[in-house]
């Protein structure tokens, strides 16, 4: 099945925001729960712009610990199971980004990065 390619977004500040954050994937029996290993885990779905050697946009990423990120990219689970886990993680992620975007005590760079991702997601969902 072919999906139209999304305009891929890259935002280093948004990727860096993942450092030290809790895992949003939280795969039962897999998650190590160690925020020191957290990075931005990109969607592997074509609808989000993933292609053969093309990563989806940063806005289609969730904070994932090392073990959950490995499960998402290389685990034995089926595509549907991974898609469902990612969708749940995206819901968690969006809630966290809303908190950061509205937190006047957060660093401006973090607020801007969270706002960037939320705006990109709104554009995607409305298109």
Active site residues: 42
Q: In 3D, which of 91, 78, 83, 92 has the Cα closest to residue 50?
A: 83
Please tell me the distance from the alpha carbon of residue 66 to that of residue 36, in angstroms, as a whole number.
Answer: 9
Q: Name the helix (H) or strand (E) containing 62.
A: strand 61-64
Q: Are 30 and 123 in contact (CB under 8 A)?
A: no
Beta partners for residue 39, in sequence order: 64
């Amino acid at each position: 099945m072919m999906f139209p390619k999304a305009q891929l977004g890259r935002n280093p500040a948004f990727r860096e925001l993942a450092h030290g954050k809790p895992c949003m994937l939280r795969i039962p029996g897999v998650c190590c729960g160690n925020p020191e290993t957290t990075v931005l885990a990109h969607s592997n779905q074509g609808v989000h712009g993933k292609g053969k050697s093309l990563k989806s946009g940063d806005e289609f990423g969730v904070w994932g610990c090392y073990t959950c990120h490995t499960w998402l990219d290389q685990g034995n689970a089926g595509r549907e199971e991974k898609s469902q886990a990612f969708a749940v993680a995206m819901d968690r992620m969006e809630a966290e980004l809303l908190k950061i975007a509205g937190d006047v005590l957060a660093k401006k760079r973090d607020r801007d990065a969270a706002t960037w991702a939320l705006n990109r997601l709104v554009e995607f969902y409305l298109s």
